[in-house]
């Protein structure tokens, strides 16, 4: 009887990468690592997967649709967008389901999902309020890509005073560039662009 497999899905993003490395280090067993190729990957993505293979010590198995992204765009007669969200379903979900269905019964698929931070943005009266606990801010910083990158290059960062660190972050958020923008205004610009591109409520083309 074939033994169930432990399969780890890799998207190329931070969450699935962190999960794969954590599993290998903290719950060592025989894993099978898979990725959903579109067939039209950028060189940077292929380089990332190659680096990850070196770190994991084994090859990543490509699990993909029978045609590539460009052919699917031609078949669907459209690029993936907020009105036609076919890309993830056809290129990732369906091939992965088919792959798992072919494995021995009891096989497990591990998927990396980022834990929700204790933060929120909401409307209070006529004000937009963004709340974030100081401890949550420090936790997010300690697990940020920047901290990880510094550690990778031999520099270990440590937050020694969470309140002082939070005050420093506030100063950084209010820092104005020559054009008058701040990290906060740029964040709001990104949010506005997302709302528009996703066709969300309260904004429309005229």
3-state DSSP assignment of residue 72: helix
Domains of the chain: 6-110 (3.40.50.620), 119-197 (no CATH)
| β-bridge mates for residue 81, sequence order | 84
pLDDT at 134: 92
3-state DSSP assignment of residue 187: helix
Sign of the dihedral defined by the CA atoms of residues 65, 71, 73, 74, in that order: negative
The CA distance from 146 to 181, in Å, is 22
Phi (first) and psi of residue 176, to 5 degrees:
-95, 135
**CB 104: neighbour CB atoms within 10 A?**
10
pLDDT at 15: 83
Rg (CA), the chain: 21
- Give start and end residues of each alpha helix (H) in the chain: 14-26, 43-56, 69-76, 87-88, 94-101, 134-142, 145-152, 162-173, 183-197
Nearest 5°: CA angle at 176, between 175 and 181? 125
pLDDT tens series, the chain, 206 aa = 588 999 999 987 888 888 898 899 889 999 999 999 888 888 888 888 898 898 888 999 999 888 888 988 888 888 877 667 788 888 888 999 999 999 999 999 999 877 666 677 889 899 999 888 898 899 888 878 888 888 888 898 999 999 999 999 999 999 999 999 999 999 999 999 888 888 788 888 78
The CA distance from 68 to 133, in Å, is 44
pTM across the whole model: 0.58
pLDDT at 82: 65
End-to-end CA distance of the chain: 63
User: What's the Cα-to-Cα distance from 103 to each of 6, 7, 109, 195, 197, rounded to whole Å?
Assistant: 10, 10, 11, 40, 39
Q: Which residues contact 77 (CB under 8 A, 6 or more apart)?
A: none
The CA distance from 143 to 165, in Å, is 15
């Amino acid at each position: 009887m074939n033994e169930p497999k432990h399969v780890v899905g890799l998207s190329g993003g931070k969450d699935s990468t962190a999960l794969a490395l954590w599993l290998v280090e903290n719950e060592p067993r025989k894993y099978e690592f898979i990725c959903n190729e579109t067939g039209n990957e950028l060189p940077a993505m292929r380089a990332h997967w190659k680096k990850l293979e070196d770190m994991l010590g084994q090859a990543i198995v490509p699990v993909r649709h029978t045609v590539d992204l460009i052919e699917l765009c031609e078949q669907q007669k459209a690029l993936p967008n907020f009105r036609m969200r076919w890309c993830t379903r056809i290129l990732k979900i369906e091939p992965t389901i088919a792959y798992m269905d072919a494995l021995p019964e009891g096989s497990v698929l591990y998927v990396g999902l980022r834990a929700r931070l204790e933060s929120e943005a909401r409307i209070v009266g006529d004000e937009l309020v963004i709340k974030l606990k100081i401890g949550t801010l420090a936790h997010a910083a300690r697990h940020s890509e920047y901290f990880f990158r510094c550690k990778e290059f031999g520099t270990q960062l440590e937050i020694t005073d969470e309140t002082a660190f939070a005050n420093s972050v506030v100063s950084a958020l209010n820092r104005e560039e020559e054009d008058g923008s701040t990290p906060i205004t740029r964040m709001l610009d990104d949010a506005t662009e997302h709302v528009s591109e996703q066709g969300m409520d309260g904004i429309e083309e005229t």
